[in-house]
Structures are given as structure tokens and as C-alpha cells.
């Protein structure tokens, strides 16, 4: 069981996590805008997360925490 927590407030919607995720389970949430005006990243298929933490490693804003 893996858990990815993305801080919606800190996220700048750069999409580096989206392109890096090997399981392709992260997307930019086009239906939402955070207070900075960005579409925040979200994990749309958490059940498939393998807790590799690659999303968190590449996140420039340290917005992602990964637990297992």
C-alpha cells in the first residue's frame, strides 16, 4: 500500500511528476485551480502506485510526500 500526498497549495502544475511517473497514474487536474492559479497534480489511480518516489524526487517544489 503506497500513499502519495501532493500539496495542492504548493504545486505549480509544472507536470514533471506526470511525465516521470513510471506507472502513469498522475495528471494535472484541469478541473481545478489552486490559489496560485495552477492546475495541481493529482494521483488519479492510487491503487497502482508502487511508491517509487520518482514523482517526489523530480518535484522542484518539494510538494510531494511518498509513504509506504
CB 49, min distance to other proteins, A: 10
Contacts of 35 (CB under 8 A, 6+ apart): 9
- Choice between 44 and 65, CB closer to other proteins: 65
| Positions that interact with other proteins (CB under 8 A) | 1-3, 10, 12-16, 18-20, 38, 51, 53-54, 56-62, 64-68
In the complex, the smallest distance separating the C-beta of residue 62 from other proteins, rounded to whole angstroms, is 4
Q: In angstroms, what is the minimal distance from the CB of 21 to other proteins?
A: 10
Q: What are phi and psi of 66, to 5 degrees?
A: -120, 130
Amino acid at each position: 500500500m503506497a500513499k502519495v500526498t501532493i500539496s495542492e497549495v504548493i504545486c505549480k502544475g509544472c507536470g514533471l511528476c506526470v511525465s516521470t511517473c513510471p506507472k502513469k497514474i498522475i495528471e494535472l487536474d484541469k478541473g481545478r485551480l489552486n490559489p496560485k492559479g495552477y492546475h495541481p497534480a493529482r494521483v488519479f489511480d492510487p491503487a497502482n502506485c508502487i511508491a517509487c518516489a520518482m514523482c517526489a524526487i523530480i518535484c522542484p517544489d518539494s510538494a510531494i510526500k511518498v509513504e509506504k
